[in-house]
Amino acid sequence: MYKLFVGGIPYSATEDELQQAFAQHGTVASVKIITDRDTGRSKGFGFVEFENDDEGKAAEKAMNGADFGGRSITVNEARPMQPR
């Protein structure tokens, strides 16, 4: 599994739209847009997970800085979550 962090996602974007954008680069295992616990609104970032590392790396290169829903998105390999 290769997990990507995606920042700069438009607040109106859906997980389905995000999956379709990344599916052009390989098999997407999961998509998660992070939402505010209280309001349920998108926080403008999320994660896309690929089954294949090579496809994930190709998507990272192709999608970083790309236009998605009128905004330029940032795509990086996701780092492990830090304990709080």
Please name every residue paired with 35 in a beta bridge, in sequence order, or none if there are none.
42
What homologous superfamily does CATH list for 2-77?
A: RRM (RNA recognition motif) domain (3.30.70.330)
Phi-psi region of 7 (alpha: psi -120 to 50; beta: other; left: phi over 0): beta
pLDDT tens sequence across 24-82: 999 999 999 999 999 999 999 999 999 999 999 999 999 999 999 999 999 999 988 78
Q: Strand ranges (DSSP E) for the chain?
A: 2-7, 28-35, 42-50, 67-68, 71-72, 74-77
Q: Which pLDDT does position 80 carry in this prediction?
A: 84
Domain range list for the chain: 2-77
Model confidence at 83, pLDDT cuts 50, 70, 90, reads confident
